[in-house]
Amino acid sequence: MLAAVIPIAGREFLPVRSALGRILAADIVAPHDVPAHDNSAMDGYAIRFDGLAADGESRLSVVGTAFAGNAFSGMVGKGQAVRIMTGAVLPAGADTVVVQEVARSEGNEVMVPPGQCKGQNTRRAGEDLARGTVALAAGKRVGPAELGLIASLGVAEVEVRRRLRVAFFSTGDELASLGKPLAPGEIYDSNRYTLHGLLTHLGADIIDMGVVADQPQALEAALSEASQVADAIITTGGVSVGEADFVREILGQLGEVKFWKLNIKPGRPMAFGKVGKAWLFGLPGNPVAVMVSYTQFALDALLRLSGLDPLPQRPLLTVAAANAIRKQPGRREYLRGTVVAVDGCWQVKTAGNQGSGVLRSMSEANCFVVLPEACAGVQPGDQVAVELFEGLF
Ligand code: AMP
Ligand code: MG
């Protein structure tokens, strides 16, 4: 999937604040040094290091004051000091700041104890970012730190990728929409709501196409309509091997299809392909399987489509299992679990009902417990891999 998809080309210019959550389409190069001048990191006295006594205390005469935003315009000579505040430009001649707490003021003089180091308590021009260096590379997502960084460069407008357009619909004759009482055999369509949340957090422009019946013509119409307006289409349900599962068949007729049986649980069936210019992610129907296959497979492909580069590395942490977990060797399993601190040590306990339709397990959990294919069960205290939900959706 990652090899197949190419980032969308569209880009736009936005004022900095509006770029939050968006992906940079071009490098942001520092137009000047940050900080722009050598300045003081502390409140104290700016001095010349080579003007201090070789040993013992130095008596310096205070010749002026430098405030942040109001520099001292003179020169600091040997035997002189300038009272300086944090962020004030380091006066000419000074190379070192003695913190107020160790200096002793006596009238127009200040006593500096021995043991000072050349350059201490100063911030050098360009130490955060030197002029001309790439401050933020294209492909980076703009978060709070990036907003601040961009502002620190004095840049007011940034070029970002346009939002990814994602259309999605649920398939299933049993699905009822909210606001209607359930007829016998019906269930409420929850996948569309989960996807609404996932795709909104992704930063996509979403196109909710509702519920589509398990009929080849209806599916065909929905897929071709979606392919006209979206960069990516996400469907849920109908990709398995049941007699009402038509997504694979229709995809085959409309476009290019790759259909997989993934060796995971939950989320075995998944279709990936192309309808017109749109990529199609045919996710399973079971609500938990939707979230597993979205986070483990569709998410990175959607991020790559959006232009994110590099893709995030998501750490798998190792923690002790608080409870036993039954598992047959064969498939990789994504169980829902909660990482909790017990006596200062992190442990993970798995949610009670691990059924692939039990969405409550996703809501109560804060991580997936990822058990590898060969695993044949877990005993309490065994080390297991967990992937925290934070950052996945
Ligand atoms: P399917 O892959 O279409 O056979 O669906 C697998 C299971 O997921 C069935 O029990 C469906 O009723 C259920 N399911 C499918 N789509 C949804 C949905 N949108 N919301 C809630 N459950 C669903
Ligand atoms: Mg179905």
DSSP codes, 40-95: ESSSEEEE-GGGS-SSS-EEEEEEEEEBTTB---SB--TTEEEEE-TTPBPPBT--
- Identity (one letter) of the amino acid at 106? E
- Tell me, in angstroms, the distance from the centre of ligand 2 to residue 287's CA: 12
Residue holding tokens 């933020």? 136
SS3 call for 379: coil
Contact 227, 291 (CB under 8 A): no
Residue 391, burial from CB neighbour count under 10 angstroms (0-12, 13-18, 19+): exposed
Contact 288, 361 (CB under 8 A): yes
Rounded to an integer, what distance in angstroms lies between the CA atom of residue 300 and that of residue 282? 15
Whether the CB of 291 sits within 6 Å of ligand 1? no
Whole-angstrom CA distances from 144 to 117, 151, 241, 312 are 35, 11, 45, 17
> Which among 238, 317, 309 has a CA at the least distance from the CA of 280?
238
- Tell me, in angstroms, the distance from the centre of ligand 2 to residue 236's CA: 8
Ligand 1 binding pocket mutation candidate from 168, 169, 173, 191 (most atoms within 8 A of CB): 191
Rounded to an integer, what distance in angstroms lies between the CA atom of residue 306 and that of residue 303? 5
- Contacts with 304 (C-beta within 8 Å, 6 or more apart), sequence order: 2, 5, 7, 311
> Which among 139, 136, 167, 140 has a CA at the least distance from the CA of 152?
136
Both tokens assigned to 225: 């309509």
> Which among 328, 320, 327, 377 has a CA at the least distance from the CA of 349?
320
Whether the CB of 287 sits within 6 Å of ligand 1? yes
**What pLDDT does 70 receive?**
97
CA 328 vs. chain centroid, Å, equals 34
Residue holding tokens 């229709």? 250
Q: Is 126 left (phi over 0), alpha (psi -120 to 50) or beta?
A: left
- Low pLDDT (below 70) residues in the chain: none
Indicate the DSSP class of residue 313: P
Rounded to an integer, what distance in angstroms lies between the CA atom of residue 374 and that of residue 336? 19
Which is the closest atom of ligand 1 to the Cα of 242? 4
CB-facing half-sphere around the CA of 111: CA atoms within 13 A? 7
Whether the CB of 191 sits within 6 Å of ligand 1? yes
**What pLDDT does 381 receive?**
97
**0.85 exceeded by pTM:** yes
